[in-house]
């Protein structure tokens, strides 16, 4: 026999949708309050990027998954994964999430990521989830770390510890968006420090929102490797297609 509360739930939900409608952040269509995007806009999200090096994230030709140029680099991650290309309409969502105080989007964005590459994350035998940190002054200015919010949601969905107090950005760097690839590498050189007691001989999922040239996640990975990490797997919501 159906409980009376269960029987009225659909009516209550319908009433709430009328009184407090929810709209798709991309097209503005009305959607159920349990959804983030409308069914049409979900189909317009950019695909998982193909043809990139799984070690450094650099674009490759054809179906090659190793670029060859990173083979002699020290301190690179063991694997790099992306859920989407950084193209519209997702790119506009990420900009709003990152710079316009839409921190409540962390969970639905993590859901979208897991739908695309969750199986790959589960295969990596991860032991902890770590976000790329902001410098304390930039965190104070922005009010939140978008990578940390996303990483926290991924840790919850992967059932892994979420670690935020062991990888630190020790140097206040210039915003990477205004720099070319060479300047980006120099900008974040030695920008991170990691605690050996936390990361020694561990497999870590390092999370950031957007991957452009890779300089930031490479610098963070080197700090983790210097602290003794056994494997570092990088996961980013989107990759700039350049």
**Structure confidence at residue 86 (pLDDT):** 96
Give the whole-angstrom CA distance, residue 115 versus residue 108. Answer: 11
Cβ-based neighbours of 16, under 8 Å, separated by 6 or more: 33
Angle (CA) 110-98-81 rounded to 5° is 45
Q: Cα 53 from chain centroid?
A: 18
Tell me if residue 52 falls in helix, strand or coil.
strand
Give the whole-angstrom CA distance, residue 166 versus residue 35. Answer: 34
- Residue 29 near residue 23, CB atoms below 8 Å: yes
Give the whole-angstrom CA distance, residue 111 versus residue 130. Answer: 18
| pLDDT by 10s per residue, the chain, length 242 | 444 555 555 555 555 455 557 899 999 999 988 899 999 999 999 998 888 889 888 888 766 577 877 877 888 999 999 999 999 999 999 999 999 989 999 999 999 999 999 999 999 999 999 999 998 888 888 899 999 999 999 999 999 999 999 999 886 555 555 555 555 554 556 789 999 999 999 999 999 999 988 889 999 999 999 999 999 999 999 999 86
**Residue of 127, 146, 153, 150 whose CA lies nearest to 228:** 127
The DSSP bridge pattern shows strands 30-31 and 203-211 to be unpaired
What letters, b where the CB count within 10 A reaches 16 and e where it falls short, cover 99-129? eeebbebbbbbbebbbebbbeebeebebbbb
Give the whole-angstrom CA distance, residue 39 versus residue 10. Answer: 21
**Structure confidence at residue 62 (pLDDT):** 65
**Structure confidence at residue 63 (pLDDT):** 62
Tell me if residue 193 falls in helix, strand or coil.
strand
**Structure confidence at residue 1 (pLDDT):** 47
CATH architecture of 45-239: 3-Layer(aba) Sandwich (3.40)
Sign of CA dihedral 180, 92, 192, 230: negative
Domain boundaries, the chain: 1-41, 45-239
């Amino acid at each position: 026999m159906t409980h009376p509360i269960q029987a009225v739930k659909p009516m209550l939900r319908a009433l709430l949708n009328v009184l407090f409608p929810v709209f798709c952040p991309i097209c503005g269509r009305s959607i159920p309050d349990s959804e983030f995007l409308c069914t049409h806009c979900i189909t317009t999200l950019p695909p998982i990027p193909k043809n990139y090096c799984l070690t450094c994230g650099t674009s490759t030709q054809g179906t090659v998954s190793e670029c060859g140029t990173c083979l002699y680099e020290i301190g690179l991650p063991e694997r790099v994964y992306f859920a989407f290309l950084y193209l519209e309409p997702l790119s506009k969502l990420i900009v709003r999430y990152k710079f316009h105080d839409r921190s409540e989007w962390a969970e639905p964005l993590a859901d979208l990521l897991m739908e695309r590459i969750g199986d790959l994350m589960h295969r990596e035998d991860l032991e902890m989830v770590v976000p790329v940190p902001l410098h304390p002054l930039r965190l104070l200015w922005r009010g939140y770390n978008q990578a940390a919010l996303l990483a926290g949601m991924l840790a919850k969905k992967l059932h892994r510890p979420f670690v935020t107090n062991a990888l630190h950005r020790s140097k206040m760097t210039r915003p990477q968006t205004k720099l070319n690839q060479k300047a980006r590498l120099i900008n974040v050189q030695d920008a991170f420090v990691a605690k050996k007691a936390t990361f020694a001989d561990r497999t870590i999922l390092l999370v950031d929102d957007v991957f452009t040239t890779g300089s930031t996640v490479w610098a963070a990975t080197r700090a983790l490797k210097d602290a003794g990490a056994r494997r570092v797997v990088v996961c980013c919501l989107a990759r700039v297609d350049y």
